[in-house]
Structure 1
């Protein structure tokens, strides 16, 4: 007679230096997931189409995200997608006032930029993280972050900033993403950034098609095996829409499914638009994994 195994063992990633102090808060990424909210001070963002472009709207959106449970807030002044360059002064004027307005909020403040000058201005204004979606395209970015106490997010992408990369091809997308990230981590450390101030992101949909992004999600454990905290940005991406035949604005459930699967595979920072839903899904996943206790116990209690 077959006896079922009543205990399921998840093989969770081993993270080197999982405890990170940011903005006075200790994150333990061996047992914790941080939800990163997205605030775009751009008139042409792919998701909100400029709804938070105005300063008061962006600050209000950031504060609402924090109220909804966001641990981090990621502020962007220029989208990743192809388009004309945004002047450096303009990008700085978009992000710095939001950073300044969030000082004292308790949230980790991240700035999404690939320009070292913008990163420097943001760090001086009080940012704690620089989120470089071009994977240190400009090595000076590593120098700027090394001279601070900030964290750098290194993301896999292949194109020159703000340029198209049609029909991307890979021999093995996961292996190539891992090799890229490993090389960029070595670059960052050679420039003086310690490993405990680095995070990596496989770059879902960035110079990748839907099959590539699904493969990265399916095999995310191979990326978390690098030993660094992994950030995933799966929210409302085209790979979700194409998988489900859903337009932008109707991809929340698919995004949450991709997020939860990524957490189980080892992701520890999740960049999401729909913050309240993402926070609940992340906290429930933590409870199932045994990372956190339920908020209370009443059901069937004596």
Structure 2
């Protein structure tokens, strides 16, 4: 057995130990964790014990993956990104899942390297590349989820802003209007407004709760709407300002939709261009090769 195969087997064994250490049927849980569902506080998800492999390796993995995300241009921390994607997963669980996927990719790459026995460079690509791809796939899915939710919020925001303007013009206060839309609405904007109303009921001011919403979503339209809503104590015609902002958001959404349609219409011409140029190039290549053969005397 070569040194490379021995290293791959050691890595595979360490990965299997970490993965199996997270499975309930494999490791014996402490008595306190087994009795936790029957406690007066109710069941709760136990945190990894300090002696478990996950508790030891998770901070190092979290730091390494944060640096990798920063190198890819992702400046926000994982907790903020999970909140923007509206994913009910804490950062520790997300990192553990990434580690599991990376170890699965490592095992698959090691198995392929041992089975195919390619060259050293290709074996290193298989062993290192598959885990990296598995980890980056989770990051890409989270980024796609954030982009999709931001797009849905952009589409829902004009309707929500118009409803806020109508309720405020009818005499409702800003907290009452937010609570009414949050209770009766369905969608991404209503879910965010429920968090805003909950923060207000817990003692935060309207401006503070709305600013937290704008920071969490990181959508320009939300920031502009929050800037208008923050004037509810100073402006006397807040409903008219909100309606004007709703029309501006709707115009911006329409402009983005037109740009998306134009880009897709341009993509239609790519297969048409390829289907036209390839036969033309083949027809031009025949006389060119013939003339070149005559000149060279071949």
Shorter-normalised TM range:
under 0.3
Q: Which structure: greater strand fraction? A: 1
Is the radius of gyration larger for structure 1 or structure 2?
2
Q: Which structure: greater helix fraction? A: 2
Between 1 and 2, higher relative CO (CA 8 Å, sep ≥ 6) is seen in 1
